[in-house]
Amino acid sequence: MASSSAPASGLAFPVGDPQVVEIPYTGFDGQGNVVDVDLSGGYTAIVQFGTFNPDGTRGPVFATWSTALGTLQIVVVSGASSLLFTIQAADTAGQRPGVYWVQVQILKPGGAIDGSADYLLTLLPVAGAGASGAGFLFPDSTAQVKSAFAAAVDNPRILADGTSEDDGSPTLGRMVANIMDELDRPDLEGAIRNACRSAIGFWQRERFAFNDGVLSFVTVPGQAGYGGAYLAGQNVMLAIDTAVAIDASDTTWMLRNVPLASLEALGDQNQSGQPAYFAKFSEGYRLFPIPDVVYTIRFTGHVRLGAPATDADTNAWVDEAYDLIASYAKRYLALHRLKDPALKAAMDTAVSEASTSLKGLATTMAGTGVVQAYDL
């Protein structure tokens, strides 16, 4: 065991051999990230490694080192300090993987204890370790810990490096995988994915708490109609609750929604000024009078929330509305692919319960406790 020549931070395990060990130590105070402390002139470090008994108490010592100290790095963070040591692979040769206790004592000249610390050491097998255990060492990085985990589990979603292609987040891919498991039909992955998208398409027309939104755009002087590429990337409104115009001084007023035919009957269609009316056509909007300057137009209401674009993507359909979409997808499969009346009947009930729950949540969130007249 020798003093470490670790990077200045001294806080992260580097990859490879030897390994830097950071051991909390209360014998010194200092400022900054790393300080060099002169422990020459008789200071000694005694380090003991030992196993744990079955009841969790400390077991016997399997190795002891005693070394004269020179200048060691001390990591100081918020007044707490740590010694940095380096452990070679040979220091743990012959020991099986497991958790061991480590005790470090720093002795002053003459033998008095200047400081001490306890530390838990985890040994994992490394590549090339023999049956005798030679080569067991610290996990040399997070990657090695993940690899050891991957080797210990039988899960196709845990990759060889220990990372997971499924972190538990609500995604379209997770919904598809869950339905495959529930139906025990891995051969229907494509059909299940299509069923999920069909379910989302069907329920898009219904309003829930999560598919309210805003469409906002700025006008162009002399331009009456706005849609197509001009609104690309914006929400598509399925129902509009409020429509306002805002001028450069932040003055805001309501816009009145009228049918396109009524808009054309209001008067001179070339009239310009502050917009007061709007009409919807296709997926665009026409304003009257034609804006004479730049205004901000803002609609709020029910927006079209599409399906996640890829299996790795998420939105409310596979999160808040998971039960509704998954149940409707299985109903769709039972009706169109599996020809299973019992499954369809069960999913009819599940869909009804899920939709009622979601609509109840939307009503609760939208309720104000005040009855108001509404101008249609």
Is 362 a residue whose pLDDT tops 80? no
Q: What is the pLDDT of residue 367?
A: 45
Is 20 a residue whose pLDDT tops 60? no
Is 224 a residue whose pLDDT tops 60? yes
Instruction: Give pLDDT tens digits for 230-243.
Output: 999 899 999 999 99
Structure tokens given for 87:
């452990």
pTM above 0.75, yes or no: no
Q: Are 42 and 109 in contact, with CB atoms under 8 Å apart? A: yes
Beta pairing class for 284-288 and 225-226 = antiparallel
C-alpha angle with apex 201: 198 to 202, nearest 5 degrees? 90
Instruction: Give pLDDT tens digits for 97-149.
Output: 667 777 777 777 777 776 666 666 666 554 444 434 344 444 444 444 445 44
Instruction: Give pLDDT tens digits for 82-92.
Output: 555 555 555 55
Mean pLDDT of all residues belonging to the chain: 73
CA-nearest of 258, 185, 175, 273 to 222 is 273
Q: What is the pLDDT of residue 32?
A: 35
